[in-house]
Structure 1
Amino acid sequence: MKPDRNIFVKVIFCFSILLTSVNTMAWGEDGHRVVGEIAWGYLRPEVRTRVGELLESAGEPNLAEATTWADRIRSDSRYDWAASMHYISLPRQWDGYKEERDCPPAGCILKAIDHFGKILGDRSATKSERAEALLFVAHFVGDLHQPLHTGLSEDRGGNDIKVEFFGFPTNLHALWDVYLPAGFVRDWKQYAEEQRRSIGERERKQWLDSTPEDWAAESQRLVHSHAYTSQVELGEDYYRRNREVVAQRLRRGGVRLAGLVNQVLGQQ
């Protein structure tokens, strides 16, 4: 399917000002909503009930919208401590996750998912603590499936790589966050429903048979095989090459978010 250039024009216009001041925003709001909506469809009934209670206490209407919370609070200085938890900077030659080497003292996304996953499942934690943990987990699982959130530290995960997409200036990170998904995600809710129906049971089980470290390894491979490029002027060829990569990362993110939440809250 050929991308609709008018869609790209509209999206680039709407986000150009925002993206000049906000970095490492993974998937944009609609991408995160797709992950959350897919995940909601795979939650077990009793887990849905518990998730609904936590979301209500946090003032979030549903899981899809809740996935955007961790980006919405980035302008709140009280959450400056969470900035480094949206990503992990990995070298081109990487032999697997070692916390003491790969995760700085300020934290990283893999440590954050583990940390907040434990709080979410801790029945001795307060409801507000568990609700906030859910909001972080829902966002960070999506972030980890955006390949550039495992990108190189020297270019800040592609934020410092200037490119043009269909003639419009942006950076590589923003291209993957917003502009590539915008080519095919017109209605995020409808798209999420279509994607969930396309996921086979065998495929879903394969994706669940993995750890967050495996998800990071997938993204790290993809960032070098598909995202990074020596070209500056990008258009239809780059879009066609990466459209399915983006779509699959959204699908896997949704399935795995559900799996993690089912595992943590289903035990109760």
Structure 2
Amino acid sequence: MIRALLLALLLTLPLNALAWGPLGHRLVALLAWDELTPQVRADIQALLAGEADPTLAGVANWADELRANDPELGKASAKWHYVNIAQDGCVYDAARHCRNGDCVVEAIRAQTAILADRSRPREQRLQALKFVVHFVGDVHQPLHAGYGHDKGGNDLQINLDGRGSNLHALWDSGMLNRERLDEAAWLDRLRALPLAVTLSRPALPPDAAAWAEASCRIVREPGFYPPQAVIGDEYVQTWRPQAEAQLRRGGSHLAAVLNAALAR
């Protein structure tokens, strides 16, 4: 009875604001750290000094924890985690898809600009860093650039291995957790994948719209939405490589953003 009540509570939460789960967001941050310049690493360490875990991975899930730790900021930033563009052919239009800048594309751009502005107070730039680390991860989760009518797959119930879930949760963490790898093993696996960008071409503003559109195109691929609620290992084996590639791209793109924003 208690378990059923907890599940019911979880299903009422605005899960469009969650992506990859804690492991996935930490992996994006750890992959990004590999590609940062020494100077940018030093600047980030200075900004993070005093945090409970003063690392990129340590703050990677901060934005998802705001609903519990800072409800007012969590509510204000809730729409910054996603953008719904699949219904429009995965072509981003700010006026249509991001009114008042309330979507992940414009949030990445706005928070990166704050981070890059060294005239701003340290506290503002620290908060912006936390948002950027998280949102770049978010935009690479395909369902965070998917359809609005099913809340990014949250309303599509599925059953895998006899357990009920939804498509969004499966992509957030279900497929990763099924491998039963620890963080170090996942890092080794993802580091073996090709880099998404090179260190020599960081640029501002970040090309967040292109990342969202690329994520969205995955959502529209045949078979991404399973034809029936009960799915098996075949779905996981088909789509987990895409999830892994997106994590790898997320890490590489995050590094490019941070290298550009903090370059001297």
> Which category of TM-score, normalised to the shorter sequence, fits these structures?
0.7 to 0.9
User: Are residues 1:228 and 2:225 paired?
Assistant: yes
Deviation string for 1:11-68 (max 9, x for gaps)? xxxx968843541210000010110000011110000000111112444321112111
What is the one-letter code of the residue matched to 1:110?
V
Q: Select the residue among 5, 9, 24 that pairs with 1:31.
A: 24
Deviations 1:201-258 (A, max 9, x none): 6x5439x788211111111100121532222001201101101001000000000000
Q: 1:250 aligns with which of 247, 250, 255?
A: 247
Matched positions, count: 251
Q: Classify 1:122/1:249 alpha carbon distance in 2 versus 1 (closer, same or farther; 3 Å).
A: same
Give the aligned partner of residue 126 of structure 1: 121
Amino acid at match of 2:172: D
User: 1:20 — aligned with what?
Assistant: 11
| Structure 2 partner of 1:214 | 210
Where 2:181 maps in the other structure, the secondary structure is coil
- How far is 1:185 from its partner? 5.8
Runs ≥4 residues deviating over 6 A: none
CA drift of 1:193 comes to 3.8
Using the TM superposition, name which of 186-195 and 30-39 deviates more: 186-195
Alignment-mate amino acid for residue 60 of structure 2: T
Percent identical among aligned pairs is 36
Matched, 1:72 2:61: no
Q: 1:46 to 1:185 in 2, by over 3 A?
A: farther
Asked if 2 retains the 8 angstrom alpha-carbon contact of 1:148 and 1:227, the reply is no
Task: Name the amino acid aligned to 1:39.
Answer: A
Q: Does 1:265 align with 2:262?
A: yes
> Any unmatched runs of 5+ in structure 1?
1-14
Distance 1:126 1:213 in 2: 28
- What CA deviation, in whole Å up to 9, does each residue of 1:155-207 have, x standing for no partner? 110111111111111111111111011123621233224422x1446x5439x
Q: Which runs of 5+ in 2 are unaligned?
A: 1-5
Residue of structure 2 equivalent to 1:172: 167
2:154 equivalent in structure 1:
159
Residues in 1 aligned to 2:112 and 2:49: alpha-carbon distance in whole angstroms: 19
Provide the residue aligned with 1:238 in structure 2.
235
Partner of 1:243, secondary structure, is helix
Is residue 55–residue 62 contact of structure 1 (8 Å, CA) maintained in 2? yes
Q: Deviations over 1:75-115 (max 9, x none)?
A: 23221100000000113342622211111336000010000
Do residues 48 (structure 1) and 41 (structure 2) align? Answer: yes
Tell me, yes or no, if the aligned pair for 1:58 and 1:128 is still in contact at 8 Å: no
User: Corresponding residue for 1:111?
Assistant: 106
Aligned-partner Cα distance in 2 for 1:95–1:190: 33
User: What is the alpha-carbon root mean square deviation over aligned residues?
Assistant: 2.3
SS in structure 2 opposite 1:169?
strand
* Equivalent position SS for 2:138: helix
Report which of the two has the higher share of helix: 1
Counterpart of 1:187 in structure 2 is: 182
How far, CA to CA, are the matches of 1:200 and 1:108 in structure 2? Answer: 29
Output the amino acid matched with 2:43: R
Q: Secondary structure at the match of 1:158?
A: coil
Does 28-37 or 89-98 show the bigger shift?
89-98
